Amino acid sequence: MKKVATVQSLVSAFVILSVQGAATLPVFAQLKQAPPAVSTPPAAAKPAEEAKEKKDDNIQVIQESKPIVQTAKGWQTFTDYINIKAGQDTAPLTLTFNNGSATALPFESMQIFLAGRLLGTEKKFKSRVLTMDMTGALGAGGTQMIIKAFGPQGASMNWQLTTPKIAVTSMTPKEAAPGDKISIVGKNFGKGLQVQMGKQWAKVVEMTATKLTVEVPAEIEGGKQMVVVSQGGLKGKAQELNIKAAPSVTGIDTLSAPPGQTVNITGKGFSATSANNTVTFNGTPGSVVSASTTQLSVVIPEIAYPQWDVQIKVKTNGQESKDHVKINVQQRVIENSGVPEQ
């Protein structure tokens, strides 16, 4: 017992010198320099677990340790790694240590080091719990954690890294065209946040903790697209947005035909509802008799003929195609052999 008391006295003296007159904040202020990350942690290091939700809907777990258990009475050293993804290093982060549990004894003394810097001791625990704000203190990749602990055999502790869960409650409008701006309302929006619309990344124009203003990407495809707000792989609930994107015209099955003839126009971004598409021949609308997202069947309007290189354009949901195809309007019908006439 005398030997243990001596060791504990030395540890207490070391702690006093390390945190003399300081609370948690000065220690954390040093960590604000962002300790160097280990790009490829050693094989022995436990990889980060997949982020999962806690019962608290406002908190998301990024990583948590397995129980750290004392195998024999005395001092032991435990090595672990905190592994976070790019983007998560800019998110609000909280590191929580739990010393002991309902079924396991706590450690009596400990020193916790992160990237070689003293993070905390048993003196900083309150009711066996130590909670620290780690925002900006961790780099993407792996950061080494060393815990030197003293306690009885079977003593146990664990740690958990969490962040406020991104939540999206509403989005307006529900329909937009490329270049339009939409508003996304929610909570826990912060630095490093990204917004994906379909396969495209949207530009965040303005941001507060509860509201985003986002510009619809110019290259986005038309139709229903899912909008996802994320930060470092942690995602909020997806929202559905109807994109009124300009269609693209790529081909026609007939190179020459008279008024009243039905022709098939191919492309993408058309509406499957015929009434949502307008097809014009040198500005004169034809009659759309059937439609899919990639093909329109249209009757050539009653226009003067013969006319050469008549431009055919498509407007879908109010958005006009930037490209077009051409047809010769005359009595003779000539089928397209497969090469679009543009």
Pair (158, 171) in one structural domain: no
Instruction: Kindly write down the DSSP assignment for every residue of 247-305, as one continuous string.
Output: PEEEEESEEEE-TT-EEEEEEES--SSGGGEEEEETTEE-EEEEE-SSEEEEEPPS--S
Q: What pLDDT, on a 0 to 100 scale, did the predictor assign at position 25?
A: 40
Pair (325, 290) in one structural domain: yes
* Domain-terminating residue out of 243, 260, 283: 243
CATH for 139: 2.60.120
Pair (35, 184) in one structural domain: no
Q: Taking 70 as the threshold, does the pLDDT of residue 161 lie above it?
A: yes
Number of domains composing the chain: 3
CA distance 326 to 66: 68
Pair (134, 263) in one structural domain: no
Element (H, E) at 11: helix 2-18
Pair (269, 325) in one structural domain: yes
Q: Taking 50 as the threshold, does the pLDDT of residue 179 lie above it?
A: yes
Q: Region 108-124: what's the mean pLDDT?
A: 95
Q: What is the pLDDT of residues 13-64, one digit of tens each?
A: 333 333 333 333 434 444 544 444 444 444 444 444 444 444 556 889 999 9
Residue type, 259: P
Q: Are strands 175-176 and 239-243 parallel, antiparallel or unpaired?
A: parallel
Q: Does the predicted model carry a pTM greater than 0.75?
A: no
Pair (101, 208) in one structural domain: no
* Domain-terminating residue out of 117, 134, 164: 164
Pair (151, 232) in one structural domain: no
Q: What pLDDT, on a 0 to 100 scale, did the predictor assign at position 46?
A: 43
Pair (143, 205) in one structural domain: no
Q: What is the pLDDT of residues 180-238, one digit of tens each?
A: 999 999 999 988 889 999 999 999 999 999 999 999 998 887 778 999 999 888 888 99
341 assigned to some structural domain: no
Q: What pLDDT, on a 0 to 100 scale, did the predictor assign at position 56?
A: 56
* Phi, psi of 275, rounded to the nearest 5 degrees: -65, -20
- Higher pLDDT among residues 324 and 183, named by residue: 183
Pair (18, 136) in one structural domain: yes
CATH for 220: 2.60.40.10
* Domain-terminating residue out of 143, 164, 185: 164
CA distance 236 to 232: 11
Q: Is 77 exposed, middle or buried (0-12, 13-18, 19+ CB in 10 A)?
A: exposed
Which residues, 6+ apart, have CB-to-CB distance to 216 below 8 Å? Answer: 176, 177, 178, 179, 180, 181, 182, 197, 202, 241, 243
Which residues, 6+ apart, have CB-to-CB distance to 1 below 8 Å? Answer: none
First to last CA, the chain: 93
Pair (109, 146) in one structural domain: yes
* Structural domain of 46: 2-164
